[in-house]
Amino acid sequence: MSLASGSDPGRPSADSSKPDSAAPSRFRSDIEGLRAVAVGLVIANHAFHWPTGGYIGVDVFYVISGYLITRILTREIRETGTLSLSAFYLRRVYRILPAAIVVVVVTVAASYLVFYDGRADAIAADGVACLLFVANWHFARLGTDYLHAGSAVSPLQHYWSLSVEEQFYAGWPLVLLLIAWLLHRGRAPQRPVAATVLRIAVVIAVASLAWACLFTLKRPSMAYFDTFSRVFELLAGAIAGLVEQRWRERGRSLSPPIALSIATTGLLVLAVSSLLLTNGSPFPAPGALIPVLSSVMIIFGGAQFAGGPAWRLLTLAPLRYLGKISYSLYLWHFPAIILLLAALQTWPSTLVTIIALLVTFALSVLSYRHIETVGIRRRREREQVGRRRRISPRARTLPLIACLAFSSAIVLFAFAQMDAPLGDISGSAIRQSASTHRASPATTMASDAEVSAALRRSLALTAWPTTTPSLDVLDTSLDAAPAMDLSTGCRNNVGVAHPHICSYGASDSARTAVVIGDSIAASWMPTVSGALVPRGWRVLGLMFASCSPIEADAPPPVPQADFISLCRASRKVMTDWAASLHPDLVIVSSAQGPIARLSSGATGPAAQQEWTAGAVKTIQQLRSGGVENVLVLSNAVSGKDPAECATRLSGPKVCETNLDSDYKAKMKGEAEAARRQHAQLLDTRNWFCVGDRCPIEADGVLIRVDKAHLTAAWAARLAGAMRADLQATYPDLHI
């Protein structure tokens, strides 16, 4: 994110009307104000979730960055015939690193004071990725990993945009250096630098935009963090600066009224887009085109005419000051919000957010004065005493190789995220649960009454007990049910050609139960297998992540192209496979999230009716395949992520949750479907709540590993209670 350019903020060099000649610099105070608008949008979105499209501030920063830095680099090429990479990267180091390092160190240290070691360790790992400028790839991997998609937000997650920018500047100067070498070989008359760079920039920008559109359609969550998908935004700013320079070379300019109209329109469109865009908008392409083009209009119009409403607004003294410290504001705001909200959970969230913003401003002022400006001053002192080095002929061939390697790495990384198309179930592999998961306690609770008693004891606690798994080492991938493992369990991605299934118990068991559903069903496997296998049953499971077995379409929490069609096919695979086994019992279970995001847009009673109809269809499909006993198993009550709510400064009460309307609507819908089809419903709310109060642990065992999935430990503890309920429900099955 270009809150910090390689030179003085907002000070591009203006060109004279003579080709390839430098002109005196004009300080762009409107760009400084535009920085303030951009950082304000981002902070408001993070703090208050309004405006809904406030995240476009990042796109504005990219445009500003491309505009300023490309002008600086092309000016150096005009004046010297080459480009000093060492000088450029030294400027970046002095400008970017000092404040970035301080914020990471302070955030990680504060995390160990606020959070338990498990989450603090994860934040420390985030910090390493941030300082290596690979945070975008790091968070993209976590965000697209289903088990981590709903995990606690890292206070360093905003560093992804800095990583994208620095990755861009690891390659773009090399392209310019290659252009400089080609233009100054002496074999042909010199051509204007701006014209040549402009052509190259347009070609790369178009390629980036095309890739971004494709990648956003295919894998939107990955595309958002992808470097090449963002390149067109930085190059849009570069193109604006290069066109401006070419116009000056040719003595062209816009009339003040036209320039005024362009800048004002750009600012208005930027404001409106921040209100209309949402988290569901296609980003970065084509959605980012709106803020990108708006920013280009503001910058280009302001370069042609310094006046008018937009210019006067952006050059107000308060905005200019906020723009000056915008880099520090951006770095500090997210850690302040996340850490203070976690530390002060019993306070009103709005009050804590306001306090966080005040802390952000104070830290930013101090950071700018004592960290940023010191780095800038030292860089200038070094430039004054240093001597620019010319690059040797041999070394001049290296930038092209490095640039190609860098670009290839980005493209190959992005292609690696693409999913394979759905195949059929033939050749499915039966794999046992991974041995790397932590062992679950052997003891189980024998009845609903015993579970309720444990929950009541938990609700009376005022301090955290010693928990299993420990809050200090809580890890979703280790503490969830082994069946949740994507490689060795029976949770599959939709579209996988050969889905894995789980098998528990002897293959020659007298009776068989089959569990189908999404990842919530997978998290129930320790309970189901613990209830039935000791009674001589075999338990098989097949699940697809985010794909409910209920015939009601809903997009996944992590966006994915073609998900609906892939889920429909996977749903059919589940029901057909279950029926083909002629089991004694089929258990169907799914998350409550889909009922709140149905593709039809239905909400309230309409959503409940749609869910009922979908559940009826699923039961009918199983019955048509010869399945007699169908049990709908309700999901675990969703709530707060223990890694997020559990802190060293709070007790377990802050992690307590209540039954929400989505859970109740889903339960009513499934109960009605079971009644119509003479199936059975196992209502599990009493395994998680006493009345409407639902704790995060019971008798020292954490209930959820995240916001929705059971810990393997709690799932195993419920086996006895499930066995008792199944015995009462199906007396003829001799459970």
Specify the CATH number for the domain of residue 529.
3.40.50.1110
Successive 10-residue mean pLDDT values, the chain, 735 residues: 47 36 64 98 98 98 98 92 90 94 98 96 96 95 64 93 97 93 64 88 98 93 94 98 92 93 97 95 96 98 91 97 98 98 96 98 98 77 54 47 52 46 36 42 84 98 96 90 93 93 96 98 98 97 98 92 94 97 98 97 97 99 98 96 95 95 97 98 97 96 96 97 98 94
254 and 355 assigned to the same domain = yes
The tokens for 236 are 């849009």
Does some domain include residue 448? Answer: no
Q: Cβ of 525: how many Cβ atoms within 10 Å?
A: 29
pLDDT score recorded for residue 441: 52
pLDDT score recorded for residue 191: 62
Between CA 553 and CA 697, with CA 587 as vertex, the angle to 5 degrees is 90
Rounded Cα distance, 349 and 351, in Å: 5
The owner of tokens 């903020």 is 9
Does some domain include residue 409? Answer: yes
498 and 401 assigned to the same domain = no
Does some domain include residue 432? Answer: no
The DSSP bridge pattern shows strands 630-633 and 701-702 to be unpaired
Rounded Cα distance, 553 and 567, in Å: 8
The DSSP bridge pattern shows strands 693-694 and 657-658 to be antiparallel
Instruction: Answer for the pair 655, 693: CB distance below 8 angstroms, yes or no.
Output: no
How far the first Cα of the chain sits from its last, in Å, is 60
Cis peptide before 695 (omega within 30 of 0): no
Instruction: Answer for the pair 240, 296: CB distance below 8 angstroms, yes or no.
Output: yes
Helix (H) / strand (E) element for 144: namely helix 135-144
Instruction: Answer for the pair 615, 543: CB distance below 8 angstroms, yes or no.
Output: no
Q: Fill in the amino acid letter for 347.
A: W
The DSSP bridge pattern shows strands 537-544 and 511-517 to be parallel
394 and 469 assigned to the same domain = no
Does some domain include residue 5? Answer: no
Instruction: Answer for the pair 534, 191: CB distance below 8 angstroms, yes or no.
Output: no
pLDDT score recorded for residue 424: 38
Domain that holds residue 700: 457-733
405 and 464 assigned to the same domain = no
The tokens for 242 are 């290069």
204 and 256 assigned to the same domain = yes
510 and 399 assigned to the same domain = no
pLDDT score recorded for residue 408: 56
Does some domain include residue 247? Answer: yes
pLDDT score recorded for residue 685: 96
The tokens for 228 are 């090449």
115 and 232 assigned to the same domain = yes
394 and 461 assigned to the same domain = no
Helix (H) / strand (E) element for 241: namely helix 228-249
502 and 603 assigned to the same domain = yes
652 and 546 assigned to the same domain = yes
Does some domain include residue 434? Answer: no
Rounded Cα distance, 491 and 546, in Å: 10
Does some domain include residue 438? Answer: no
Rounded Cα distance, 61 and 56, in Å: 9
Q: Which residues pair with 541 in a beta bridge?
A: 502, 515
Tell me the backbone φ, ψ of residue 53, rounded to 5 degrees. -100, 25
pTM of the model: 0.88
pLDDT score recorded for residue 193: 85
Domain ends where: 358, 390, 415? 415
Does some domain include residue 291? Answer: yes
Q: What's the total number of domains in the chain?
A: 2
Domain ends where: 415, 439, 466? 415
Q: Which residues pair with 587 in a beta bridge?
A: 515, 631
Domain ends where: 390, 415, 440? 415
410 and 461 assigned to the same domain = no
374 and 502 assigned to the same domain = no
